[in-house]
Structure 1
Amino acid sequence: MEARFHRPAALLIISLVALFLWFRSSPPFPNKTPLAHGSQPAFSSGLNYTRLQPANSTLGFGAVVAISRANSPRQEHLLFAGNLTGIDITIPHQPKWSEDDISKFKAEKDSRITRGSAMAWLGHLNALRWFLDSRHETVIILEDDVDWDIHLRTVQVPLVSENFQRLTSSRDTYWGDLTKWEILYLGHCGDFFSVDDWEKLQHTTFPDDTLLPRSRMHTRTRELLESLDIYEGYRMLHRSKWPLCTFGYAVNRASARRILEELAPKETEGGCQAYDVRILEGCRDLDYKCYSANPELFHHIQAPSEITNANDGTDDAGRIERTGVVTTTNIACSARSDSFFTKDPATLKYLQQEIGEKGHCLVDHMEEDAKKPF
């Protein structure tokens, strides 16, 4: 009799405890905007990164290619960061561009491109030709001064791939149906637009705990996310609107050929400031099928610009730049941090396990926080 009397109360207590633990382990409602254009988000039971398979060493593409001139001092740290995080980076041979190469490349009338930007543009075209000469179906092209988070291969790329497949309704390959996209911006220096534009763009948002806290993001990135009412800790994936900088962009064979033959074989008549501006024009004005991860997964490090060096100290304007931040813009735990760099094989092996595989950021955050502007 006594046992029967207490059983309902015990069951009630157990149910309440279970309900409390379930709510405690679940994230807030994932999204104040539709998960995909025109659809409503579903309630999430929480992030579970153990279900994610890390991307392969080429991030699900046929190759990861870096544009870099011969004997560039940037290559050592670039390749170290790749080795640290398990990314296989190929650096195709790049010719030493002559003044004749640059002269033939420039528009015959009203050229606006600088010598440094022309050389960088030729480097991108060289990488695209290398890709088309290979047997790969896709490639992601990086500039040699880019940085990324230590979770790029293990968490960030798998999340972007998974959500890109959903956004484009295709699981044909790791990056979906290759006929549905032409340029995929995983690295850029901003793709900004208005709330009205956002409602019209095909898009999705998803949680990513590896994102830098919004208070530490670049001001313009933070303002964009806040204007769109995106939750803290969520990344966007959307049809590109105004993607500037080609820090890390993927193409397939059809789109690479189209860029080489139609869009950017040389500076357009009337002049163009840079390769990334011309690619932006393709996305914005010529209906190229471009998509952007926002915030970006790749951003450039604080280092002397090759373009600036070639231009005797001047640089192109209009791109969001670092503003005194010691770590890389919009990157939480930099793979190219000086704190990680080593030439000792045993230390490298330890760092590969702790940082690259386990995702432990071994940087002293107290020290880093003291350096960051608020």
Structure 2
Amino acid sequence: MTARVLKKDGALVASIGARCRRLEWAVKDSVAQLNWSRSRLIATCVTTVVVLGSLVSLTLSYVMFLDLASESPYVMDAITETPLTKRIAAHAQNETLGFGGIAYLSMPYRFDRQDAMELLASVYGLNFTYIPGVDGTAIVEKAKPLHSYWLRPPELGCWRAHVNAWRYLLESDFETLLVLEDDVDFDVHVHDIFETLSKQMQHNRIRITPPTEHEKRAAPYGLDWDVLFVGQCSDHSNDDRLDLVHLYEDPHAPSRQDTFFHFIGQMESLGIKDGNFGKMRAIAPSWNPVCTMGYAITRGGAERLILDISYRGITGPVDIDVIRKLQQGIIRGYTVTPPLLSAWRVDGAKDSDNQALEKDQTKLGAGNLNGYSTSLKMSARKEMVKILELHNWNDVQRVLPLKPNPTMTAAQEAEEQDEQRKAEAEKKEIEEAWRKRKLEMGQIMEKWGG
């Protein structure tokens, strides 16, 4: 048996060897017919090997990339707009954007920011309630929450102001409250943007239970959440629950160029690619929303927040503590990306009451007319200046041209016109003299190499 196997293997090896020799002879014959030199043959072989190696390398890289890249299983989440859905979403066109109320926090001494917020509210048909900020140094020791001893006074005051906003909701008859800080900016189409969000919030893939009859009739954004983040500074989603990301179209979403770079990466991780910037937003379960610039809360959310970030104590700045509660699953939140609200920046100490005491107060920034915000398609603050701009005397002149003064005689009128001509001539002479003087100075400087 073994001898037969060895004999068979030997015959196979001999057959392979014969075929290799025939292939070698065929190659030699082909080379001879091409009449290629040895150096040319070597160069051709090397080129062939390099090309084949490159193809193999590209193929392997592509396969590895496909393995490593996270596939985006998301598609645009279509919703069926019923008459009831449209009717309840239309509440976003009212003065509170469909929430029970809108409150903003501002330190009592920041009259500049309060003026800006009330101006924004008036121009864009909104109604803001002012909630005074709190000086952390004024909170007596026995009134401070447990574990707050290491918070700086501005952080402690910030926490207290937000808790006061939550209490304001509980003391009212509202079901929801939108809480803003006093440096916020938003898009000029803010009502339409929130109306679109309302339609998506009523039927989204994140909901665990369907909307109740009460929600369908009276809750434009539903009531199945504690906190709805619409003005975060940055965010990171829960990588384990990317299957819950809800994408939707919004014609007022900012372009890639207008979007803060952090949110570009965030949106790409959620399935929004280059071609969809400026067209889409995402709603995702809240996981790491930094800042409390703009968020909505429900009554249940206010109760849980006061319980967990006051009654039980506090373990860090208010926004960081909210993040901890979200990640622990103690509260439930939704986050909209890119955010619907942004911070208005003028640079300098005016930009923060939390850090301002540690900065040079003489550096007060460039002022509101040179301010800026990100992640908005059309800044409400910038457009507000244009909306209120007036050129009264030009308008009067266009509608009511100048008429002769009936109290002046013809001689007086002629004399006045003559004086005006003389004044114009003198003005031109002065301008011409300055022009010549500047030219002479330029020649002198050029002569002396200045």
State TM-score, norm by structure 2: 0.58
The structure having more radius of gyration, on CA atoms, is 2
Amino acid at match of 1:175: P
Matched, 1:237 2:293: no
Distance 1:341 1:69, change over 3 A: farther
Distance 2:319 2:309 in 1: 11
Choose the corresponding residue for 2:123, options 60, 68, 84: 84
For the 8 Å contact 1:198–1:228, the answer to whether it is kept is no
Distance 2:375 2:140 in 1: 36
Superposed displacement of residue 67, structure 1: 0.8
Matched, 1:174 2:183: no
- How is 1:1-374 mapped onto 2 (pairs within 5 angstroms)? 33-35=74-76, 41=78, 53=90, 54-72=92-110, 73-94=112-133, 97-101=136-140, 104-105=143-144, 107-108=146-147, 111-153=149-191, 155-167=192-204, 168=207, 169-170=210-211, 171-178=216-223, 180-193=224-237, 196-197=239-240, 199-200=242-243, 202-230=244-272, 231-232=276-277, 233-265=279-311, 268=314, 271-272=315-316, 274-303=317-346, 304-310=351-357, 312-313=358-359, 327-337=372-382, 340=385
Residue ranges of structure 2 left out of the alignment (5+ in a row): 1-71, 361-369, 393-450
Residue ranges of structure 1 left out of the alignment (5+ in a row): 1-30, 315-324, 348-374
Distance 2:226 2:147 in 1: 29
For the 8 Å contact 2:79–2:200, the answer to whether it is kept is no
Decide which structure has greater helix share.
Answer: 2
CA deviations over 1:245-276 (Å, ceiling 9, x no partner): 111111111221221122344753xx41x111
How large is the Cα RMSD of the aligned pairs? 3.3
Distance 2:387 2:380 in 1: 12
Give the 3-state SS of the residue equivalent to 1:340 in structure 2. helix
Give the 3-state SS of the residue equivalent to 1:66 in structure 2. strand
Amino acid at match of 1:221: F
Superposed displacement of residue 156, structure 1: 0.6
Distance 1:150 1:123 in 2: 28
Distance 1:107 1:290 in 2: 25
For the 8 Å contact 1:187–1:249, the answer to whether it is kept is yes
Distance 1:43 1:133 in 2: 36
Distance 1:265 1:204 in 2: 34
Give the 3-state SS of the residue equivalent to 1:91 in structure 2. strand
CA deviations over 1:276-302 (Å, ceiling 9, x no partner): 111111111134110011111112111
Distance 1:59 1:43, change over 3 A: closer
Amino acid at match of 1:105: K
State TM-score, norm by structure 1: 0.68
Distance 1:217 1:190 in 2: 12
Give the 3-state SS of the residue equivalent to 2:281 in structure 1. strand
Superposed displacement of residue 162, structure 1: 0.6
Q: Which has the higher contact order (CA 8 A, sep 6+)?
A: 1
**% same residue:** 22
Amino acid at match of 1:328: S
Q: Alignment length, in residue pairs?
A: 289
